[in-house]
Amino acid sequence: MEVEDGAELCFPQFPNTSCIKPLSPWPESLTIVFYSISLITVTLNLLIIISISHFRQLHTPTNILLLSLAVSDLLVGLVLMPVEVLRKTSCWFLGDFVCATYTLLSVIITSASIGDIVLISFDRYVAICDPLHYTIKVTGTRVKLCVYLCWLYSVSYSFLYLKDLPTQPGRYKSCYGACVFFIDNISVTFDLVLTFFLPVTVIIALYLRVFAVAVSQARAMRSHITAVTLQLSVTPKAKKSELKAARTLGVLVLVFLICFCPYYCFFIAGDNLLSDLSASFIIYLFYLNSCLNPVIYALFYPWFRKAVKLIVTLQILQPGSSETNML
């Protein structure tokens, strides 16, 4: 391969096959910021996982979905964020197997996150639009099964989408010192439909219906009109609780769309239309969603703030702490 004058090689001892050391698209101070965001993401999502897992009162169907989302967000901060910074700022010295594993994990984690958001949308749809049958239709066992199927689908989809990767991890690499993988246009189109257009359409359709019913219920409560249908025959207290949960998870979905849409639009438009800095910003905006989700919980869920206080002060180590009243 032809090397530019003054260019630094990843493997100087192999000038004909070595990649050129990449130039960081951002200042060094920004690299520290990205690593800090990665650490914050891991810490906040770990608090979510400990909270929901430890306190028995938080073992609700909705929180099981939030727990699954927190696991995928934790993996984003623990694996995807730091490795992406490494890929952008230095040569790849970890080998083809680690590169292939990272590529597979990125597809699995992303697909699982999107699947969790879809499941959360369905959960709120049933809670608001069919409250009388919510406890019958949405049980802990059914939600756990849905979560297991979501992750199983994500793993299966990743191996189908990256079918050449497990057996030929270095097939698409033109030089040593880089972690790259190319996808054909048909697979990219297929991926856009399954992991972007279809889920986003379902999410938006469900929340439009949820907010239409929520607004109707809110008006009925304000005007003190007695509900005349079974779907609206719940107590005002129950209505307020469900409306608040729908509003909170609506913010969660809105932030998800803001962070994810530019990433997929980037693939639709083509990476040749953006600078390295712009492309890196879009990718990190995509990953930033995993850090923002726990912040949303802290702002809207009193139980999370209370759980964090108990965890930080180590009160969860006391006998019987799992039975603490959190609501």
13: in domain? no
Question: What confidence category does residue 242 fall into, taking pLDDT thresholds of 50, 70 and 90?
Answer: low
Q: Nearest Cα to 22, choosing from 78, 81, 84?
A: 84
d(CA 32, CA 26): 11
- Mean pLDDT over 254-269 rounds to 79
d(CA 289, CA 260): 8
175: in domain? yes
CA 194 to chain centre: 16
4: in domain? no
pLDDT at 6 over 60: no
What is the pTM (predicted TM-score) of this model? 0.84
Give the domain extent around 254. Answer: 28-318
Find the CATH number of the domain harbouring 177.
1.20.1070.10
175 Cβ contact partners less than 8 Å away, ≥ 6 residues apart: 1, 17, 18, 19
121: in domain? yes
16: in domain? no
CA 176 to chain centre: 31
- Mean pLDDT over 274-302 rounds to 81
Domain count of the chain?
Answer: 1
Instruction: For 112-154, write each residue's pLDDT tens digit.
Output: 999 998 998 899 889 888 888 888 999 999 999 999 999 999 9
15: in domain? no
Q: Is 9 helix (H, G, I), strand (E, B) or coil?
A: strand
Helix (H) / strand (E) containing 28: helix 28-54
CB 83 within 8 A of CB 110: no
2: in domain? no
d(CA 287, CA 282): 9
The full 3-state SS of 137-160, as one line of letters, equals HCCHHHHHHHHHHHHHHHHHHHHH
What pLDDT sits at residue 76?
94
Question: Which of 4-18, 230-244, 271-285 comes out lowest in average pLDDT?
Answer: 230-244
117: in domain? yes
Q: Chain-wide mean pLDDT for the chain?
A: 81
Report the DSSP beta bridge partners of residue 176.
18
